[in-house]
Structure 1
């Protein structure tokens, strides 16, 4: 057919109307790939040969470049390989693994199994077959268990597989005691071991287990690891050991006492322990900070929304038992734990007056004392501990001259309490004033989620405070406007749950405070507005709240490794929870 014939046909058939038809053959991509694969196997039109070990693989540059940014850059970037007819990976990629990657490139299919998954992940990451890397990581997530979790943690960390890393990391924290005698454990480098023992989420209640694990790890390669001992000792909560154990097992350990830095660490732990047991001031040393698995969960509440008691959650008996009576009953307050003490701030008393009061409960000696009053009377605020300071954020105060107290607009003011000096200081104000917001600390910053704005609307922003700069910034938008939610922290993940609408009341989300990204997690077992949440070990606990006329009567637990909720126990009918904290347990004498 000549050009003129086609032009004549165009002019003859054109009517000026849009008489068109789209032809689409869905099987065309598969058909093309199948034929390209046939051409590859027959070495037809191939223009590059890949070598792995002693095997060669003739390929088409265009196909490789279309599947992998690695090959696209190699063939188009002026590198030597862009001109050569061969690319030799030598022993950096196993021939069988390279063959699987090429089969995927030419067929969009690959079989992943236990024998090849790790190698496919490594090669997929190296050669930037990211779909293969992610598929292999997903396969390994489903096949994660005690015998491979340490290896998976190292593998996923090296190849930026965040979900696999998070799951394997948590499994290592949960099963540290079982893993400490394995070859994979002894093969850890110092930094990874230090990260594990430094974690508050390490599920160990007997710190002697951690000490023994560290000593065995050092002795496994004594000449190469002796100098690592002081830094590792600093990651152990030595002040949590019983005095007898601290003296006999630690202070008499030759490896420890033969090193000056190690001796100093042990002596500091002994002083910390003595100080806590004698109630001699505030102890903030890391060696005395219990891990979350060794925390006590305390519920503050009463028969009405007026809180007058503290209750303790007994995990083993699955009971909630009365612990202490609040000296001054109140509602709409905030509670936060620092070390062995619970700080109850502000709120409204029995006559509805707004309070500046600060009541402090010492869980070791079971005593109440009064702290310096806040600078601003407030209720409906949030509080959180950050670097052993207590921050109080937002809320309402009373409009001057009106009694009973009428709430002001939501506050921007933030103040900080120093337990050592018993003094309050005003800090940088919030970007947007809020009340009834979820306030937590994570990764050395404060985060405020949602709340009620000065216009009485639901807030939709995540406000973040950097204490080094004394400055607030907007970190992200919430998935939806929120108030009356609860928040709790596991590592760099902040979990937000509940709310005051039909759509938010049962929902739960995870916020990564390092990337400021949101993801949805499993819904709670019931709808909850004004619920309260804490983290303990590697799990989250939620209590209280209501929706409509229905009170939530269960203490529920969320396991992030299985993304599932279950009820732990029933809250006594006479108890309406108004705050929930996780505080240090009694230290062994």
Structure 2
């Protein structure tokens, strides 16, 4: 119960912020209403009422006197709300940190709504990641059905939403609409656009979706389903090569492939079975090579350049079709290169930097690091030059995110480690240097989760075990949990809402584990052991076979 002295003190405090403070002794509830002009300013606030238990405000008063407060599972949420409302920002932040440490699949949806309402950025990001990772569980809760429409759309549309069956996304959207049908039926077309309708089994699409009364009754919804049916037919006729948004698999519907061999000369492609925790040989590479680059576009793996011997640098491009399990050749690159990077952007393949034909008196002497960047159009089977790098690099980590290419570090023209981030904008056809690296980097790996680029490994004692994330929006770096072992020349890829890293070595020690990073826990763990006879030299994520 709130004593009279504290009531008077708190009332005075509330009036300072233009708030009305009313205490009910019978229920031990306090109503805080912000409805008066603040500090004499001529602007009125929309009345908002917030109710708290007196015990919560007692804790805030104790904190005001002593600068101490005990946060526990019973009071953390109420303290966060009251602290934010009454401008105890340090209390709000401390409660958010406590809730971050106690985040769990059973409470992540509630924490998402709480953190969104009170601008707790870190708690929101962690809750969001956990919601994506645990969608099959959270979509069955009452809280899910009460989500605001805009937040639901963002969740269902997300590339990293973890679900093996797109039917679950469709049914969740329909359940949300039916929860308040009168008010929500108008949102059905927007929700249907978040569902990969063409990835639903054909029978389910025809017998369940196309006959759903809510869909039949709305012209826009029916139009979306009809288009998905046409897209499904094209998928079945064209072996899955369709670029429509309704047919694009989520990242959890991707397959992971390793390229490697018993030496650094790569001669085989392997499938990584994440569930069975196995690495399964799939196909021999037609032309064994080393220091090549590999990248996936849709259901295909593109292997570019590399060296087949100490003297031979290749322009060749080999393509592995994961649907038909066969290799074919694409048009050769314009420049023979090795030690380069590659990434997919807008359904095109880009190769960045590297070295070209060996020079000098020794057969192994490479050229200076290249500035040249090439773009490959798989539909036209044609290569073209685009704007060159600001600084030539080899052995850089290259990825794409937010419709841009990023190249991290690498070996410069002067054979130094380049401590820069280079960024290519295809709409302007130019490279910029938006940021520096936390340290000089080369022989690193990079992979993308959402808007964040994770960079790990390297060729120094410190960088080999470190990992960072880079925001593609703010260009800011954040240190994350160290990898489990020192890794130089490791390979990384994202799948679902997690990162996977494999291979690499440091000194004479080879790293023999396939490790997984969970961003919600900021922790790495080993998934399986790589066979001793396999040295991974590339790691890619492709679309899985599309369901019939």
- The answer, yes or no, to whether TM exceeds 0.5 is yes
Contact preservation (8 Å) 1:341, 1:362: yes
Greater shift, 309-318 or 203-212, is seen at 309-318
Q: Does 1:120 align with 2:82?
A: no
Secondary structure (helix, strand or coil) at the match of 1:53 reads strand
- Over 3 Å counting, the alpha-carbon distance change for 1:273 and 1:349 in structure 2 is farther
Q: Does 1:586 align with 2:548?
A: no
- What pairs up with 1:314-333 in 2 under 5 angstroms? 314-333=273-292
Q: Deviations over 1:7-63 (max 9, x none)?
A: xxxxxxxxxxxxxxxxxxxxxxxxxxxxxxxx99997xx89855643249xxxxxxx
* Separation in structure 2 between the aligned mates of residue 41 and residue 153 of structure 1, nearest angstrom: 33
- What pairs up with 1:185-334 in 2 under 5 angstroms? 185-279=144-238, 282-334=241-293
Q: Does 1:409 align with 2:377?
A: no
Structure 1 gaps, min length 5: 1-38, 57-69, 82-86
Q: Does 1:79 align with 2:47?
A: no
Q: Deviations over 1:194-238 (max 9, x none)?
A: 111111211101111111111111111222222211221111112
* Separation in structure 1 between the aligned mates of residue 527 and residue 391 of structure 2, nearest angstrom: 37
- Over 3 Å counting, the alpha-carbon distance change for 1:130 and 1:465 in structure 2 is farther
* Separation in structure 1 between the aligned mates of residue 534 and residue 255 of structure 2, nearest angstrom: 18
* Separation in structure 2 between the aligned mates of residue 316 and residue 147 of structure 1, nearest angstrom: 23
Matching residue of 2:131: 172
What is the CA distance between 1:263 and its match in structure 2? 2.7
Matching residue of 1:480: 439
Contact preservation (8 Å) 1:299, 1:581: yes
Secondary structure (helix, strand or coil) at the match of 1:287 reads helix
Contact preservation (8 Å) 1:281, 1:420: no
Matching residue of 2:526: 567
- Over 3 Å counting, the alpha-carbon distance change for 1:214 and 1:481 in structure 2 is same
What is the CA distance between 1:280 and its match in structure 2? 5.7
TM-score normalised by the chain length of structure 2: 0.89
Matching residue of 1:446: 405
- What pairs up with 1:98-137 in 2 under 5 angstroms? 100-137=59-96
Matching residue of 1:27: none
- What pairs up with 1:34-45 in 2 under 5 angstroms? none
Matching residue of 1:91: 49
Q: Does 1:437 align with 2:401?
A: no
> Which of residues 447, 451, 463 is equivalent to 1:492?
451
- Over 3 Å counting, the alpha-carbon distance change for 1:373 and 1:559 in structure 2 is same
What is the CA distance between 1:472 and its match in structure 2? 2.0
Paired residues in the alignment total: 529
Contact preservation (8 Å) 2:390, 2:422: yes
What is the CA distance between 1:323 and its match in structure 2? 0.5
Matching residue of 1:355: 314
CA RMSD of aligned residues (A): 2.9
- What pairs up with 1:519-558 in 2 under 5 angstroms? 519-558=478-517
> Which of residues 54, 66, 71 is equivalent to 2:22?
54
- Over 3 Å counting, the alpha-carbon distance change for 1:247 and 1:127 in structure 2 is same
Secondary structure (helix, strand or coil) at the match of 1:361 reads strand
TM-score normalised by the chain length of structure 1: 0.83
- Over 3 Å counting, the alpha-carbon distance change for 1:223 and 1:573 in structure 2 is same
What is the CA distance between 1:330 and its match in structure 2? 1.4
Contact preservation (8 Å) 1:52, 1:98: no
What is the CA distance between 1:348 and its match in structure 2? 1.4
Contact preservation (8 Å) 1:346, 1:355: yes
Secondary structure (helix, strand or coil) at the match of 2:143 reads helix
Contact preservation (8 Å) 1:52, 1:95: no
What is the CA distance between 1:310 and its match in structure 2? 0.5
- Over 3 Å counting, the alpha-carbon distance change for 1:166 and 1:281 in structure 2 is closer
Contact preservation (8 Å) 2:359, 2:366: no
Greater shift, 348-357 or 530-539, is seen at 348-357
Secondary structure (helix, strand or coil) at the match of 1:91 reads strand
> Which of residues 385, 408, 425 is equivalent to 1:426?
385
For the pair shown, the structure with the greater C-alpha radius of gyration is 1
Contact preservation (8 Å) 1:272, 1:288: yes
Q: Deviations over 1:559-578 (max 9, x none)?
A: 22222222211111221111
Greater shift, 498-507 or 284-293, is seen at 284-293
Give runs of ≥4 in structure 1 deviating > 6 Å. 39-43, 87-90, 400-403
What is the CA distance between 1:580 and its match in structure 2? 0.3
* Separation in structure 1 between the aligned mates of residue 377 and residue 116 of structure 2, nearest angstrom: 38
Q: Does 1:372 align with 2:340?
A: no
What is the CA distance between 1:464 and its match in structure 2? 2.0
Greater shift, 97-106 or 433-442, is seen at 97-106
Matching residue of 2:30: none
Contact preservation (8 Å) 2:310, 2:364: no
* Separation in structure 2 between the aligned mates of residue 538 and residue 474 of structure 1, nearest angstrom: 28
Greater shift, 544-553 or 93-102, is seen at 93-102
Matching residue of 1:158: 117
* Separation in structure 1 between the aligned mates of residue 111 and residue 480 of structure 2, nearest angstrom: 23
Q: Deviations over 1:108-167 (max 9, x none)?
A: 222333344333333433444321221111121123233431121122123332211111
What is the CA distance between 1:499 and its match in structure 2? 0.5
Greater shift, 524-533 or 412-421, is seen at 412-421
* Separation in structure 1 between the aligned mates of residue 86 and residue 335 of structure 2, nearest angstrom: 59
- Over 3 Å counting, the alpha-carbon distance change for 1:250 and 1:42 in structure 2 is closer
Contact preservation (8 Å) 1:413, 1:428: yes
Contact preservation (8 Å) 1:117, 1:139: yes
